Structure 1
Amino acid sequence: MKLFISADIEGVTGVTSWSETTLGKSDATPFIKQMEKEVSAVIESAYEKGFTEVVIKDAHDTGRNLDINLFPEHVNVIRGWSGHPLSMIEGIDNSFDAIAFIGYHSAASKGTSPLSHTLHVSKLNSIIINGELASEFLIFYYAGLYLGIPTVFVSGDKGLCEEVNRVNDNIITVSTKEGMGKATINENPKKVLNNVKDAFGGLVFSKDRFMGKLPEFFDVEISFKNPSLAYWAGFYPGAEQINDTTIKYNTKNYMDVLTLFSFLVKE
């Protein structure tokens, strides 16, 4: 079986400040190591569950955070960004059996993480899909469903895990911390690693069990912090500016949604 892992850092235990997420800053070093450990914990348990091929997308910032020397020979790592609309799960195809999201975080405008954002840290107020505030998890969970691949595991902050459970309560979640204003209440790093191993180790995989239903229509609203960006984005084919900071876009094809994000809200 083949497992695709998308790894972010803002949902890794301990991470509280933006300086702790930036490659090259001394603050970030221990947290990148913890990111690597949380990914490795999934890989270890996944292999025991019969996943003999694993691909990791380093999906944070530069996409060049993970030390590829740390992983077993059956693991490939995608570094950097090709520009493909699949973005945080770029490299995936329908040969994969399952997706795991590691170190994910609450959506932009949510108060459940001091690092809450969606796709772009400074550009957006929010992304709403079919009336629901969209996190990066939701965006790429839908992308997996579009390709016929279910999500089986998510780790990240408590607010994100609660969202995952609302979206599909069959998905296994591990909470790493809880946001409190600009602060975080963190699980012990060793405890998180044990929880990840135990949770994934308890996986009883069935594609039908984990597969959710992709909506048939997508009503998307993107709210920008700068009104001039909303004016500019309103010229995207099919988009319409509906107020000073917001555009809307409607489609039946989810790849159109991902392409919209790729052009209008990428870092």
Structure 2
Amino acid sequence: MKVYISADIEGTTGITHWDEAEKPHATYPEFRERMTDEVVAACEGAIEAGATEILIKDAHDSGRNIIAGRLPDCAKLIRGWSGHPFSMVQELDASFDALLFVGYHSKAGSDDNPLAHTLRLRVAHLAINGEIASEFQIYSYAAALVKVPGIFLSGDAGICADARKLVPAIVTVPVSRGIGPSTLSIAPSLALKEIREGASRALRGNHAACHIELPKHFTLEIKFTTPVDAYRASWYPGATLTEPRVVRFLSTDYFEVLRAIKFMA
């Protein structure tokens, strides 16, 4: 069994402030360790369920957070960013049996995580077909392009709820919830146990139930925090400035939506 893991940091257990997610700060190493621990737990669950190959994308900020020396022998790690529109699921293709999301977070504009955002902080929100989208949705749709189901997600309670709304059969592990600028989290040791068990259960389950049917047409709207960023993005081919801070892009091809997101957001 061949498994892909996309890992972020803002949905790891206990993370509460941007300092904890950024390399220059003294509190970052603790959450780098926690991100690594949660990825390793997902790997252990996957191996228990029969995975023989695991590809991991370090999908936070620099793409250089996970401590590679802790990964199992059957795992490979993508560090940094190639610039490909698949971005957080770079190198995902039809050869994979399943996709797992670890450490994911709520979308921009949500109050479910003090670190809620979508892609970059200059994006106030990103909508697909009129619905505010999360990074989970953006890259679940990318996985659907190559017919790979997203079957597991760990992160804050808000993104877990969004994931179940989009993919009712997905296995989720909520590790925290936001309360204003604070968080209420489970113990890290319990999170590792539940991530390990959840990943194993998801991979032993019915993957077909997690397949997504892509819409036939896409309306992408990106609302920026400033009109300056919106004006700049409006020069992307096919993009239209519909409000001072809003850019719209239409397509019937989701890969073109991903390409637009890559260059505009």
Pair 1:41-2:41 in alignment: yes
The superposition leaves residues 46-102 of structure 1 with CA deviations (integer Å, 9 ceiling, x where unpaired) of 011111100000000000001111111110000000111100011211111110010
What letter is aligned with 2:111?
Answer: G
Match runs of 1:122-137 below 5 Å: 123-137=122-136
For 2:73 and 2:207, locate their aligned partners in 1 and report how far apart those are by CA, in whole Å.
Answer: 26
User: Which amino acid is the alignment partner of residue 142 of structure 1?
Assistant: Y
Letter in 2 for 1:145: A
What is the rounded CA distance, in whole Å, between the counterparts of 1:165 and 1:208 in structure 2? 15
Aligned position for 1:211: 211
Give 3-state SS (helix, strand or coil) of 2:142's partner: helix
Q: Which amino acid aligns with 1:178?
A: R
Write the deviation string for residues 141-169 of structure 1: whole angstroms up to 9, x where unpaired: 00000111000100000010010011111
Q: What are the Cα deviations for residues 121-178 of structure 1, in whole angstroms up to 9, with x where unaligned?
A: 2x11000001111110000000000111000100000010010011111010000100
Per-residue Cα deviation, 1:216-261 (whole angstroms, up to 9, x for no partner): 1111100011101111211211111111100111101011011011
2:112 alignment partner in structure 1: 112
Supply the distance in 2 between the matched residues of 1:22 and 1:235 (Cα, whole angstroms): 31
Structure 2: give runs of 5+ residues left out of the alignment.
Answer: none
> Could you list the runs of 4 or more consecutive aligned residues of structure 1 that deviate by over 3 angstroms after TM superposition?
none
Match of 1:143 in 2: 142
Say how many residue pairs are matched: 264
* 1:7 pairs with 2:7: yes
Deviations 1:187-238 (A, max 9, x none): 1101111111222232333332221211111111000111011112112111
* Equivalence map 1:82-121=2 (5 Å): 82-121=82-121
Amino acid in the other structure paired with 2:88 = M
Residue 27 of structure 2 aligns to a residue whose secondary structure is: helix
CA distance in 1, matches of 2:72, 2:205: 22
- Separation (CA, whole Å) in 1 of partners of 2:52 and 2:108: 35
Deviation of 1:119 (Å): 0.6
* Corresponding residue of 2:50: 50
Question: SS at the partner of 1:202?
Answer: helix
* TM-score in terms of structure 2 length: 0.97
Counterpart-to-counterpart distance in 1, 2:208 and 2:113: 32
Answer yes or no: is 1:202 the counterpart of 2:207: no
Q: Secondary structure at the match of 2:115?
A: coil
Q: TM-score, normalised by structure 1?
A: 0.97
Give the residue type in structure 1 aligned to 2:153. Answer: V
Q: Match for 2:238: what amino acid?
A: G
Alignment RMSD: 0.9
Which residues in structure 2 correspond to 1:154-233 (within 5 Å)? 154-203=153-202, 204-233=204-233
Alpha carbons 2:127, 2:222 under 8 Å: kept: yes
Q: Which amino acid aligns with 1:207?
A: H
1:72 match: 72
User: Which residue of structure 2 aligns with residue 20 of structure 1?
Assistant: 20
Amino acid in the other structure paired with 2:216: E
Q: Give the fraction of aligned pairs with identical amino acids, expressed as a percent.
A: 40
> Tell me, which stretches of 5 or more residues in structure 1 are unaligned?
none
Q: Per-residue CA shift, 1:95-115, capped at 9, x if unaligned?
A: 111100100000001111110
- Counterpart contact for 2:127–2:220, Cα < 8 Å: yes
Are 2:100 and 2:199, in contact at CA under 8 Å, matched by a contact in 1? no
Q: Could you tell me which residue of structure 2 aligns to residue 246 of structure 1?
A: 246
